Structure 1
């Protein structure tokens, strides 16, 4: 039996994969990480510099190393990258960079990870490529002929290019809110946000982070979570219909089940900007016609720039689609953490839980995966908190 067949393989060297590598090393194992990029945490390097974490710092440390208090309660992108650079230095993981995974197959009771560098057998495989790998753009009629500037939010970095321009942001998720507020503050001549389904909006607070963790890792029934999230939205914001913001029609978990991706957002300035007229709300986009953006209800507008904050997808179908392990819509796995599907023993998933708040999930799920693979003792909540 070769050494490689006994080493757990982790696909993805982002925060989720590195967290699992840490816990497996703690358990005495020597995992091999595979990543298609040249550096660890490549997705975080590509995020816009003004990104601020939605999860509270005290809940967001990965196993083995705390996020420093100097980063404040809500660390910025560069704060987290500084933390991850140190995390990689201390962990010293075995990573094969610039290696593409083509397919994962089950053969003779083991997994075979087929990569651009050859086949790798393993008893246990952890998939940690992340929720946000492939930008998603709706199939809008006429988009290819749009005469204005169009980009997906994944390509956004700074608001400076939009000074003096008429900007339409499509989508009311955390990124869309950040971009719209930044463009307005930077001096865009006009900023509008297109909202098809009004999500539940929460205020940024430690309580929100704690509640999100209780929802995902506790016994709270989804029906109760839906009612509570709708009530919280109403209590925090009141009636916003006069500003074009209808009340959400479904709670957090109902929205996730319908869409297959995050439903709900942390408001970081949208509501005040809508109230004072800095940002205007318009209906959902239905299509494009040369210079026009067509909206629900038959109206149209002529923005200079359209930024589609319409989400991203995990993009695992290309190497896991044949295993009947991914849920639709959204393409997320049907199991998480220490769980495996009956027909796919030894195949684990890290970093795909919804609703959002992925960093706190990663510490919990990394411990669970290590227990499942290494058969180590159960980690209590106190153990997890001490590791931070």
Structure 2
């Protein structure tokens, strides 16, 4: 059942809320939990139709590489074997259950069009009317607008193309080979799945690094936690080393398939033309299917307040605090620690922001 089917908050332009949270994903729900524990008149708004749909709509075989005990938000544990790895549908249903459990004031199907600030009040124009609030937490997360390189437009319509965010399973593809572009875990998992039914190539900018999902019977993230790597802070020396190294590929499925010549690793994608893709120092390859596992771009163009974002469009903040009084960000990668954009870490950042808000 959709959250918005039982929570219906009528917009009243005469009411000035204490806080509006934009985004009902893991970050927004974590913030809602902590706000519900203090005397706050707040609402969480989201343009989607159902809590957890950003997870439900990802590829069918997706399984998290963080165990259940590190995939929970504050106040409610994800059910199941704590050391086991949850599926994406488990996480989606858990997020919906979380909203129900704490009876969070959420209004779905409410897309934000424009936000500005006049004097000390934020005005948020949405598809359901205009909200006013003293504070706004932007909790839209890091996965906002799928990024597909512009060179993709040079491919013939005969080539099937899709971004990893739109990929569900092998049945979507045309017959023939598949090139997965992108060296992250999503690209690796999709390549592994496709290799069971077709010739697969994985285009990466640098040689993959592999880490097992478990070591000596414990999740690799359990070891990260014990070694302090999961809580490495953004400005620390170890945090910088982790960021510079980039994320490893978790699990050895890809490594095994590459070794068995079931998946071919290719260098960086450089050009596209008609039915061919050209790779750095490799040459061209005729392709039938391309999956762009090339990540996402942030989009804060709806925020019409000067000096919120830098020239690259990223928010200017320190642990979620901006130079604009009453405006905060939550769920950003490395907002404070390595775990800030993960289920296990976003709750801590939300609690910190609430404590700051209580002082101001």
Category of TM-score, reference length = shorter chain: 0.7 to 0.9
Q: Does 1:279 align with 2:263?
A: yes
Identify the residue that residue 340 of structure 1 maps to in structure 2: 321
**Partner residue of 2:71 out of 44, 57, 60:** 60
1:301 aligns with 2:279: no
Task: Tell me the residue number matched to 2:126.
Answer: 115
Determine whether 1:211 maps to 2:224: yes
Structure 1, residues 301-356: CA drift from partner, whole Å, max 9, x if none? 1121111100112322x212643223464x4433365x4123x1211111112456
- 1:191 — aligned with what? 200
Equivalent residue for 2:32, pick from 18, 21, 24: 21
1:4-43 alignment runs, 5 A limit: 4-43=15-54
The counterpart of 1:319, out of the listed 277, 292, 302, is: 302
- Name 1:73's counterpart in structure 2: 84
Aligned partners of 2:210, 2:46: CA distance in 1, in Å? 34
Distance 1:332 1:223, change over 3 A: same
Contact kept? 1:128, 1:350, Cα under 8 Å: yes
Q: What SS is found at the alignment partner of 1:353?
A: coil
- Equivalences for residues 230-379 of structure 1 within 5 A: 252-254=242-244, 263-267=247-251, 269-297=253-281, 299-316=283-300, 318-320=301-303, 322-327=305-310, 329=312, 331-335=313-317, 339-342=320-323, 344-354=324-334, 358-375=342-359
Do the aligned partners of residues 324 and 144 (structure 1) sit closer, same or farther apart at CA in structure 2, a change above 3 Å counting? farther
CA distance in 2 between partners of 1:160 and 1:203 (Å): 29
8 Å CA contact 2:212–2:220 kept in 1: the answer is no
1:139 to partner: Cα distance: 1.7
Gaps of 5+ in 1: 228-251, 257-262, 377-388
Whole-angstrom CA distance in 2 between matches of 1:12 and 1:210: 32
Change (3 A) 1:118 1:226: closer
**Structure number having the greater helix percentage:** 1
| In structure 2, distance between residues paired with 1:284 and 1:321 | 37
Residues 24 and 374 in structure 1, CA contact (< 8 A), matched pair in contact too: no
Could you say what secondary structure the match of 2:165 adopts?
Answer: helix
Shift of 1:211: 3.2
Cα pair 1:353 1:361 within 8 Å, conserved: no
- Partners of 1:364 and 1:156 lie apart in 2 by 32
User: Contact 1:176 / 1:309 at 8 angstroms: preserved in 2?
Assistant: yes
For 1:102 and 1:31, the matched residues in 2 are separated by 19
Q: Cα offset for 1:73?
A: 2.2
Could you say what secondary structure the match of 2:116 adopts?
Answer: strand
3-state SS in 2 of match to 1:124: strand
Structure 2 gaps of 5+ residues are 1-12
Q: Secondary structure at the match of 1:272?
A: helix
Residues 55-93 of structure 1, C-alpha deviations (whole Å, 9 max, x = no match): 232122111111113475211111112212221211222
Match for residue 166 of structure 1 among 158, 163, 177? 177
